[in-house]
Chain A
């Protein structure tokens, strides 16, 4: 900017031009600070920059408000609009660290599960109902197995398999074609993860898809158990399922519980609008979904390592239900001591 303008010439300038001239240096400084903040985050600013960011942002807000009133200079208006918006975005950026977010999640998730105990119980009921129906239907006609269980899931097992073949899958850990880590890999994206995901997310549609998915999962389980019970190896299957299934099925139930919270918000919004109800219940529901995701990852680890290493049924039962007990203890006792301000997050 030229500085050799005399005071007389200056007074001839438009009010909006003088306004702009007096503040332009500040805006440039704000722009420079923003460039740093946008590239490397507000944390990268030093003390003076951080202090100036706050002051200059407020000044830019005032300038924008004045300029909208007094100036018809489009160049100025567009610039100030954009500058203020950038500063606003930098000033109100979330100041989170991953550790902080994780810590808060661990502290508040159990309370969310406790608040949703009814919905989770309902989901468990749906699965139990499905299992019962599956077992009874299989008892009537073994061909139901083919209907319920998709081809890949049973690992080639079915009513046509011999008892020896069934036992081999249950105990034959070492001879698995894929290694134990491979099993873990395959598992992460397997059927049950998808069921958990969908039964959570589709709960929004009035709970119905979640309920059906949970019921369907129960049907598979029931048919599976009935098949093995028919051959008198139910106890072996129980051990085989328990070691990771306790965690895995619990994850599906918790995810479905989260889906039910969403659906319930749409069905019974109470005095809120449906959108607001969804947002409010969404807070807990999302925590349930994340808890379920954690449980699924844990189940995958158990599946990958423990199931093939531990072939003794008693040990399998102890590990499976022991871990299940730990989950339950976390849900029941976790986050009790946290202050209410954190809890309401």
Chain B
């Protein structure tokens, strides 16, 4: 492979990796001194949560009013309705985000959460600010979109305002709307922790059947190792594709790896999963040992070695 090809390939890889990354990441440094990575929520999910909130609070209000009307409260229904209509706007969001640690009902259902950008706890002030601004940023244009009307100029004004809001939220790395910026908050995806099994800690050690020497383990890096791990995890959980597809996939991978590392022993296709597991264990042991000595290897292009 020529140098130019190598550079092009590595750039291509970087592109694909960026595309694979699930979302933007916000790093906070809590007092414990270990940076914690939080995944920033996309605007689509946030709009979804907002709509859920509107539906839930609207339905709750209507239910309460119907109950009141049925009990024959008469004129009081109107007053209570007015109060409720007032309460399901800003006060509902302030109270719920404050009491439920940055989650409204809609955010809870959509797995979102508001956090302070500086890594400290959410303050009452921040919650109040971001939800007061919601009145101007969400409810006013939202009402206009639903009801419509108004003359040409006010329509243009509102549309410009909406364009500005979207541009601001899209345009910054933390996906903050204006209220978030003033309050110093951002919306993250609630982290989901699921511990998958350790592939090297399986039943009996399979390393006796397949033996790899240092030269054979010197080809791949962290990226390839973790990609292989992902494939094997999918295989053991049986989550993607049909069994036949996964099987063919594993066999193809095993063939490629054999070719690349120059593994000479005979290998039947039925051995592919065992071979890959053994290779994974050996490769990880090799790379982790190297990493302990400060030699990290990012991928098969060995860019970390050169630099």
Contacts and interface: CB of A to CB of B under 8 A. Distances in A.
B163 to A, nearest CB: 16
Interface in B273-296: 281, 284-285, 287-288, 291-292
A290 B195 contact: no
B32 A181 contact: no
A22 B213 CA distance: 29
A81 B195 CA distance: 11
A192 interface: no
Contact of A61 (B32, B193, B205): B32
Contacts of A16: 284, 288
A7 interface: no
A28 to B, nearest CB: 8
A61 B225 contact: no
A88 to B, nearest CB: 5
A29 interface: no
Contacts, number: 174
B132 A79 contact: no
A179 interface: yes
Given A12-B205, A179-B75, A73 B81 contact: no
Given A72-B225, A75-B229, A89 B101 contact: yes
Contacts of A304: 79
B184 A9 contact: no
A342 interface: no
Nearest to A84: B36
Contacts of B197: 75
Contact of B122 (A62, A94, A197): A94
Given A70-B291, A86-B193, A181-B75, A94 B34 contact: no
A94 B97 CA distance: 10
A83 B193 contact: yes
Interface stretch (A158-166, A243-251, A281-289, A314-322): A281-289
B78 interface: yes
Interface of B: 28, 30, 32-34, 36-38, 75-76, 78-79, 81-83, 85-86, 95, 98-102, 113, 115, 120-125, 127-129, 132-133, 135-136, 178, 181-184, 190-201, 203, 205, 222, 225-226, 229-230, 233, 281, 284-285, 287-288, 291-292
Given A72-B284, A185-B79, A200-B132, 19 more contacts: A12-B205, A17-B200, A62-B34, A65-B34, A70-B288, A71-B288, A79-B194, A81-B36, A84-B34, A89-B101, A96-B124, A98-B98, A98-B99, A185-B81, A188-B85, A202-B136, A289-B132, A290-B128, A345-B125
Identify the 5 closest CB pairs spanning chains A and B, nearest first. A185-B82, A75-B196, A82-B193, A93-B101, A82-B191
